[in-house]
Structure 1
Amino acid sequence: MFTVELYRKVRQAYFRQGMSKRAIARHFGISRDSVDKMIVYSVPPGYRRTAPVKRPKLDGFSDIIDQWLREDMGRPRKQRHTAKRVFDRLRDEHGFSGGYTIIKDYLREHERRGREMFVPLHHAPGHAQADFGEALVVIGGTERKAHFFAFDLPHSDACYIRAYPAATAEAWVDGHVHAFAFFGCVPLSVLYDNDRCLVARILPDGTRQRATLFSGFLSHYLIQDRYGRPGKGNDKGSVEGIVGWARRNFMVPLPRFATWGEFNTWLEEQCRKRHADVLRGHGETIGQRLQRDLGAMMPLPPAPFDACDQATGRVSSQALVRYRTNDYSVPVAYGHRDVSIRGYVDQVVIGSGGEVIARHPRSYDREDMVFNPVHYLPLIEKKTGALDQAAPLVDWELPPEFQTLRRLMEARLLKAGRREYVQVLRLLETFDLADLHVAVKTALRMGAVGFDAIKHLVLCQVERRPPKLDLDVYPYLPRAKVGATSAASYMCLMSGGAA
């Protein structure tokens, strides 16, 4: 290929010095055709194809290849024809005698022609996009998959990120509620994909049948919901970019936090720090552009939306209620009753007759059983033989003083002492474990190992008043006293008269 410098010299010789084309060709040692091209073009124009590429060995087979590629469009991406598979089928099924390279070049050209083109978009203030992403994190010392909610304002590029154990419908709504609180406003519209937590069904005319919880959320905040085309993530490219950016910047290296709450507090701080950044193509910070977004958005309603899934259930004979494949305990007094269930992202709340009867941390395992041991104590008081085999009490970690109390009670009253010990545990239905623990330690120190004494002591602990126990007046409050052993007591065993 000739250089730009040669082009300059040839053009100067022709236009400035008046040399003929024949003389120029002779002087520079180039062909007359090259001289003609250099007179027309000021710089080398590069190779220009004047006729389509001819592939004689592929003629007659291109229609077969195109048919296979059209059929591939309705199949999973990982089960579509590769260039190698096309080559093998053409050779084995149709007698193709050409090489692999022309097949590969044809498929590359076919893919280039089929690539989608996009229109640059303008994002008006006050509108948002939302999506979920995934990343590995370490919570409480255990590596877990985090599903993080990403909320983006494309006009200002301000974002909000919040992580959850699972991308449930409750997590979608809870993420919005926290994002609105973070920005202090509600966007005019939010663009979504067609996640099943949001869209129960796409009707034939293209309209969306919204999921029940999501529909209530939209009604509460009066947001216009918009949706991208099914399977087209580029329709909401702004939030898709935020998902990747958050994964690279917030999740590398693996975040390590004791709880999900601490992790989300840290994520909020990172989102707030990002407001000081100036992105490429902008002369203002994200925070400065965010003011225009906030000015166009709607005010928050008086109260946030209750982001929970609502269901109903029936208490089983084992005082368990099933929710999302897991069983949660309720007090045994509510056995065989119908109850209402509210599933939040972090807890499950069970109610009956307008009152809350149980709260549990939510489990995201399958076929898990979540117990509150206190729920079963009234039944165990009647069936004290089940005390050591009751599944709800197996992993119940009580302070060691409680085991000492039980041993003393059973040593004094046997089976009745076991029942009295369960009565002490039932004080947890009214009092905190910390207060009851103090009362038990005080009772052991005083030698008063009865239920009435411990109940009196825990009341004094809660009311911050000194206890008034007179063991001489109340003989049913025995003083537990173990005397020191004397060697002289065993001397009779050594004498012959002992027989």
Structure 2
Amino acid sequence: MLAVAQIDYIRHEVNQKGESYADVARRMEVDPRTVSKYANQEEFKRKKKQKRKARVMEPVKPIIDKWIKEDLKKKKKYQRTAKKMYEQLRDFHSFTGSDRTVRDYVSKRKKELKESMTEAALPLESIPGTAQVDFGTGPFNYDSETIDLPYLVMSFPYSNSFYFQVFPSENTECLLEGLQRMFQHMGGVPKTIRFDNLSPAVNKIFSKGERELTDTFERFVLHFGFQYEFCNPGKGNEKGHVEAMVKYVRNNFLLPENRIINVDHFNETLWEMAEKDRDRLHYDKKILQSKLFEEDLNSFLMLPEKGFECARYEELKSDKYGIVNVDTKQYSTSPRFAQQKIRVRITYNEIAILNEDNEVIAKHTRLYGVRRKSMIWQPYLDLLSKRPRAIKYSSIYNQFPSIWTDYLKNCTEEEQKNALRLLGELLKNDDFSLLNEALTMASSHGHPSTDQIKHCFYTVINQSNTYKEISPAINLPTMPAATRGLSHYDSLLQSGGVS
């Protein structure tokens, strides 16, 4: 007799797709009469097996089942052995059967439970402990401008619940950072997660539906141990629940646009929003979604002991200024590393430049949007001020703001040293704005010295305190109009101006 899956395949190919018996038989390497038999069979009777109750095992089967289900959420090295289960039953549950009986039952039940978990993962629409993931886009008010930012949604079809987090991009690092945050917040990992064919996860889709995963995503899956599924190309409806939840999140939580100053701080407020939303009845099951989500949680896999480093590493060659390009953005290293291979650690919010010993040379906030270059000037300024003749000034100065480029080119060698020392002393967070203003002020009467620039710099800093409006500490009386004689003194005394 053929297996159930084979019979199901025959009936689908012949009855639903209209394939001939001969074609299906050829593909399956069976007789066409066999194909005809199962394609047209009306009734499939289940063979009844005679079961005898094991009187010793019956009371402890629910206990063993509970242990096995708990252990299947853990790595194999943390799972109980059948021998350990027998010892616990004997010592704490007054079990009088043999260890062989326990071993046989454990082996059988593990196989049955694993098979049921595998089959249950296929539909995915309403199985506890499964999830779907996708990105959406919403408007945000940032720095007085309205910009669109992606947000990552993980939805749970069984409980109709969700979590979401906002990110500056839909790249691999943002995807994995968002997934790990959700795992850690929930304290567990969904057994199966369905994705669209997101470029952060999938490098290439082959003709037969096989996929080449990105290296970082593949390691992420192995670390957390969940099963992944991808929609067929052009079949976004296969993750219909998360598609609907992306719209629900946008309409109920992101419109009108939220004002954000720090995205990470904003994300901290989103956990409670999602959890509060579960205090309503499921649209179909008429049970509180919060109760159904508890069933999701109970079906999750356990978190690994260690977190995953949501970063990728690249070997890049710097240009003649010691600058490397990461995803079309430029980041400085140090003039000592000009035109050398540099190791770069890339996370969703940081670019770290490493030396051959993996020590950090420079650390940048990762750039998104229109800004294209991040410079950390201290390594350049220190070297320039100590050895100005060792570097072609024009090459390095081309990276400075133009006002400083022009000024330094008109300096003597000694003036250049002093100016670079001044920049090294006053430059904070690699922000030239105050220094630019100071140099403009100092240059109003010709080529300034570094002392004049420094004086103007502190003048600019203190300028807001120089012209403070002084509010009176007392209420002054209204003075009467001036007249000849002494009558105005009487008016002043009557108004209470003198005590």
Give the corresponding residue for 1:202: 205
1:383 aligned partner, one-letter code: P
- Indicate the SS of the match to 2:307: coil
Q: Is the 8 A contact 1:372 1:392 kept in 2?
A: no
Alignment-derived partner of residue 233 in structure 1: 236
Name the TM-score, length of structure 2 as normaliser: 0.55
Q: Could you list the runs of 4 or more consecutive aligned residues of structure 1 that deviate by over 6 angstroms after TM superposition?
A: none
SS in 1 for 2:378: helix
Match of 1:419 among 410, 414, 417: 417
By how many angstroms is 1:157 displaced? 2.1
Which of 322, 335, 340 is the equivalent residue of 2:338?
Answer: 335
User: For the residues of structure 1 that align with 2:325 and 2:368, how far apart are their CA atoms?
Assistant: 13
Match of 1:377 in 2: 381
- What's the CA shift for 1:149? 0.5
Instruction: Measure the CA separation in 2 of the matches of 1:357 and 1:287.
Output: 48
Q: CA deviation at 1:424?
A: 5.6
Which whole-Å CA distance do the structure 2 matches of 1:363 and 1:321 have between them? Answer: 13
Say if 1:376 and 1:211 are closer, same or farther in 2 by CA, change over 3 A: same
Asked whether the equivalents of residues 125 and 157 of structure 2 are also in contact (C-alpha less than 8 Å), the reply is: no
- The aligned residue for residue 4 of structure 2 is none
**How do 1:167-178 and structure 2 match up within 5 A?**
167-178=170-181
- Aligned partners of 1:344 and 1:334: how far apart in 2? 22
Corresponding residue number in structure 1 for 2:192:
189
* Residue 311 (1) aligns with residue 309 (2): no
Whole-angstrom distance in 1 between the partners of 2:181 and 2:190: 13
Q: CA deviation at 1:277?
A: 2.8
> Aligned partners of 2:342, 2:370: CA distance in 1, in Å?
21
1:358 paired with 2:362, answer yes
Q: In the aligned structure 2, how far is the partner of 1:268 from the partner of 1:127?
A: 19
- Measured after TM superposition, the shift of residue 128 of structure 1 is 0.8
Question: Is the alpha carbon distance of 1:208 and 1:432 closer, same or farther for their aligned partners in structure 2, counting shifts above 3 Å?
Answer: closer
The CA deviation string for residues 257-288 of structure 1, in whole angstroms up to 9 with x for no partner, is: 11222332232331132232333234432222
Cα distance change of structure 1 residues 337 and 427 upon mapping to structure 2, 3 Å threshold: farther
Residue 287 (structure 1) aligned with residue 290 (structure 2): yes
2:209 and 2:232 in contact (8 A); partners too = no
Aligned to 2:443: none
Q: In structure 2, what is the equivalent of residue 390 of structure 1?
A: 397
Moved more, 203-212 or 143-152: 203-212
How far, CA to CA, are the matches of 1:396 and 1:306 in structure 2?
A: 42
Shift in Å at residue 208 of structure 1? 1.6
1:419 corresponds to which letter in structure 2?
Answer: K
Distance 1:366 1:122, change over 3 A: closer
1:276 aligns with 2:279: yes
Letter of the structure 1 residue corresponding to residue 417 of structure 2: R
Change (3 A) 1:395 1:129: farther
* 1:217 match: 220
C-alpha contact 1:190 1:225 (8 A) present in aligned 2: yes
Does the 8 Å contact 1:326/1:366 carry over to 2?
Answer: no
Distance in 1, Cα, partners of 2:295 & 2:271? 21
How far is the alpha carbon of 1:203 from its aligned partner? 2.2
- How many angstroms apart in 2 are the aligned matches of 1:415 and 1:200? 53
| Count of matched residue pairs | 305
Determine if contact 1:374/1:428 at 8 Å carries over to the other structure: no
The AA in structure 2 aligned to 1:167 is: E
Letter in 1 for 2:373: M
Partners of 1:268 and 1:393 in 2: CA distance: 43
One-letter identity of the residue aligned with 1:226: E
- The one-letter code matched in structure 1 to 2:397 is A
* Alignment partners' CA distance in 1, 2:248 and 2:211: 30
Q: Report the Cα distance in structure 1 between the residues aligned to 2:210 and 2:124, rounded to whole angstroms.
A: 24
| Structure 1 unaligned spans of 5+ | 1-119, 398-405, 407-412, 438-448, 451-499
User: Is the CA contact (8 Å cut-off) linking 2:140 and 2:146 kept in structure 1?
Assistant: yes
Shift of 1:298: 1.1
Supply the distance in 2 between the matched residues of 1:127 and 1:395 (Cα, whole angstroms). Answer: 56
Q: Whole-Å Cα distance in 2 between the matches of residues 244 and 181 of structure 1? A: 25
Task: Please state how far the C-alpha of 1:393 moved relative to its aligned partner.
Answer: 4.5
Indicate how the Cα distance of structure 1 residues 222 and 298 shifts in structure 2: closer, same or farther if over 3 A, else same. Answer: same
How far off its partner does 1:317 sit? Answer: 1.1
The whole-number CA distance in structure 1 between the counterparts of 2:144 and 2:275 is 27
Unaligned stretches of 5+ residues in structure 2: 1-122, 435-449, 452-499
